[in-house]
Amino acid sequence: MIPVPSALRVAIIGAGPAGIYAGNILTRLVQEAGHEVAIDLFDSLPAPYGLIRYGVAPDHPRIKGIVKSLQEMLETGTTRFIGNVTYGTDLSLTDLREHYHAVIFATGAILDAPLVIDGIDLPGSFGAADFVSWYDGHPDVPLEWPLDATDVAVIGNGNVALDVARILAKHADDLLTTDIPASVYAGLAGSPVTDVHIFGRRGPSQVKFTPIELRELADIPDVDLVVYAEDFTPDSHSEQLVASNNQVKIMTRTLNGWLTKAPLGASRRLHLHFLHAPVEVYGDGRVEGIRFERTEHTGDGGVRSTGQILDYPVQAVYRAVGYRGSALAAVPFDAVRGVIPNDGGRVLDAVGQPIAGLYATGWIKRGPIGLIGHTKGDALETVTRLVADLPVLVAVGTAVGTADAILALLDERGVEFTTWAGWQALDAHELMLGSLDEVTPGRERVKVISRAEQVAISRTEALLTL
């Protein structure tokens, strides 16, 4: 049996699905080995759940339902949630090394991947990640968003692009049953948008959407779907994809079905364009349009330029071409890939050697690919490595003081950290706000945006008087 202290102490940085799954799996594997483990789950936000709370569109309650299983994991009591703590400022890597045998980084990827074309930084050009944070009520994003465009372009052919386009095209009243805050509703209600265009550089069979997200576009009230026959050019590779992949078959059938449907005269339109490669965002001082070069299939899944240039007059552009991880203080970082360099979750130094006691999981480990469900297998890989390293961790780690020493250190530094009990108070408060909403009876929740208010509710561990 591996010799370990009475309780292995592990810090996980990031309380989204990746961090919670890692904590749950680590608990199980260490206990199965006959040992005890104490895990502290830190997050820079006052509330847990990360991407689920602040990265999933409010009109996707099916995905948000994952919170229920994450909550069950945290309620076991083996993982302690400590929120409103910023790694690198409130706590350093040195601090964590002194208090824990191992550290797992699960900070995700929250920045927009760059799109390097002329004019992309003009006023009126936005990153999808920032917009998603706004409509999800992230506490670090301004309350107001400039929604003054009648014609909008969304660049990207993944689910985030669909989310952004759907929220822009939807009438605000159709979101009242969700948990959107009043400021988000007000912004969307005042939007003059009439046309939202989604652009992808490849063809309809190469999209990165999932079928359910694509098909729900047809259910948006008072929004016509528009697709274009010239984007559906025959291609042997696309035909092979349709024949061999049921998901591609469903989406291709859905898109082709929309070709035969005439617009019904809705007040808003959602356009899907394919075989368009972005070239330039243009305008005099702000976005006035976007320029594309028409592409064509190469027969092997790729596309090539045709030389045909197409301009679309729009007043706003949203790039949804992927997410990117952020560098962490005192931790190696691959600036090209936007990840922590690692081998199966073990963090690697500059010469490719594992750094004892440091691990990574989730998008900061593998990049922003895969759905939330993939995070479980990813966490299992990382945690399996950590458990195999137990003899080394015990030899290297110090883990001084008691389990509450880290809380005393945060108190000493004036950090207003939040706890699981605090989250339960905030959760109950938001649910109460939803039940008292007179505009939308039966509304489940109204999300609190202000960080200060979240912290105040959480730290009193009681509902505020309305």
Annotated binding site for NADP(+): 157-160, 201-202, 213, 370
- pTM of the complete model: 0.95
Q: Which domains are assigned to the chain?
A: 8-110+325-415 (3.40.50.720), 111-323 (3.50.50.60)
Q: Rank 69-73, 139-143, 177-181, 400-404 by mean pLDDT and report only the highest.
A: 139-143
Structure confidence at residue 463 as a pLDDT band (50, 70, 90): very low
Instruction: Count how many residues are written for the chain.
Output: 466
Helix/strand/coil (H, E, C) string of 376-389?
HHHHHHHHHHHHHC
What does the alpha-carbon distance between residue 36 and residue 251 come to, in Å, rounded to a whole number?
48
How far apart CA 242 and CA 239 sit, in angstroms, is: 5
- The β-bridge partners of 324 are 111
**Residue 466, pLDDT score:** 36
Torsion of CA 333, 339, 344, 349, to 10 degrees: -10
145-171 pLDDT per residue, tens: 999 999 999 999 999 999 999 999 999
Q: What is the DSSP string of 120-149?
A: TTSTTEEEHHHHHHHHTT-TTS-S------
d(CA 10, CA 136): 30
Q: Which of 423, 461, 455, 438 is nearest to 48 (CA)?
A: 423
- Report the alpha-carbon distance of residue 447 to residue 184 in Å, rounded: 11
User: Helix or strand or coil: residue 303?
Assistant: strand
Residue among 37, 65, 84 nearest 419 (CA)? 84
33 — pLDDT class (breaks 50, 70, 90): confident
Residue 381 has pLDDT above 80, yes or no: yes
Q: Which residues are annotated as a binding site?
A: 18, 51, 157-160, 201-202, 213, 363, 370-372
For helices 451-460 and 420-435, the axis angle rounded to 10 degrees is 110
Annotated binding site for FAD: 18, 51, 363, 370-372
